[in-house]
A and B are shown apart, each in its own frame.
Chain A
């Protein structure tokens, strides 16, 4: 199934592209996400998503199938497995930035495939969750963009960035200040895509 979501960031398109292709800035902004490793265009991570009493924890990998910095378009493929056996999710997310002068809008088109328990769900809840996640992500990213990290400090590997689900923008900044890494920053856009790809898949079958 396909979803289209959109969010806006308060910076010009080139800056937006730079930030959104920077895994370490983008992943902490995804509610409940944790980056486990980055290797060039490939990265692994987990995303914990709550929908009411249900928590789904997806662990998986994602990679860029395409990055076009002149067209400001990227395609990311993500595959995740729910850690408690509730199924798999895979997604191909296309992110397109649109120049709006002082702001940039990002349109995410997600093509999602769900298997296992989650496959009984209708697109309603999936779409709802994706929209909510992306909304929260956009808020955090915006807060981060308003006050970017100061300097880069080397850290030991493996790098792990945890995004506490209730982190304020201040906490995000701390994380970024500490863990900014000398790693290929030309990778990856759209934490939103990652979130959408890894997180969707819970919905309960409408049992009677």
Chain B
């Protein structure tokens, strides 16, 4: 129905656009900001491919309307590596532990793992598996991803 102007910070950059209220944050990031690293899997909150950070907390961007994120700071996978391009410990660990194949689920995992390790820098194996339970991967069988979390935790 009626479009609204929404303003937020995305990966540190001020962003504004006119959107329909029903535009999800995921679609806003992908289509209005051109940040297609955030992926759409199930679009109903189950698969985790759309996970981003909103004011530091991991959320499902497919379950938030862009208009609800007004004034917030959003971090996507494009904002995780350093400005120099150097991969974050989480990204490097996923690469080194073969924690990705097709890469579709990977941005969601990067964001979720980043948030997890921030809250709990030294998780137990049980905590790692529970923490990852909200992200689905169809390729790897998860073992490489779990290892990557352990490695990232150890190197941070």
Contact = CB atoms under 8 A, between A and B. Distances in A.
A208 B45 CA distance: 8
Contacts of B118: none
A207 B62 CA distance: 15
A208 B44 CA distance: 9
Which DSSP category, helix, strand, loop or mixed, fits chain B's interface? loop
Contacts of A207: 44, 46
Interface string B39-53: 000001010000000
Nearest to B42: A207
A208 B47 CA distance: 9
A148 B46 CA distance: 53
A207 B46 CA distance: 8
B99 to A, nearest CB: 22
Nearest to A208: B46
B134 to A, nearest CB: 10
A207 B42 CA distance: 10
A208 B46 CA distance: 6
Contacts of A208: 46
Interface in A149-208: 207-208
Contacts of B44: 207
B60 to A, nearest CB: 13
B54 to A, nearest CB: 22
A207 B44 CA distance: 9
B22 to A, nearest CB: 15
A146 B46 CA distance: 52
B50 to A, nearest CB: 15
A73 B44 CA distance: 46
B68 to A, nearest CB: 18
B74 to A, nearest CB: 25
A29 B147 CA distance: 63
B62 to A, nearest CB: 13
A90 to B, nearest CB: 28
Nearest to B134: A208
A70 B46 CA distance: 56
Contacts of B46: 207-208
A138 B68 CA distance: 44
Interface in B35-86: 44, 46
Interface of A: 207-208
The 3 nearest A-B residue pairs measured at CB: A208-B46, A207-B44, A207-B46
3 contacts: A207-B44, A207-B46, A208-B46
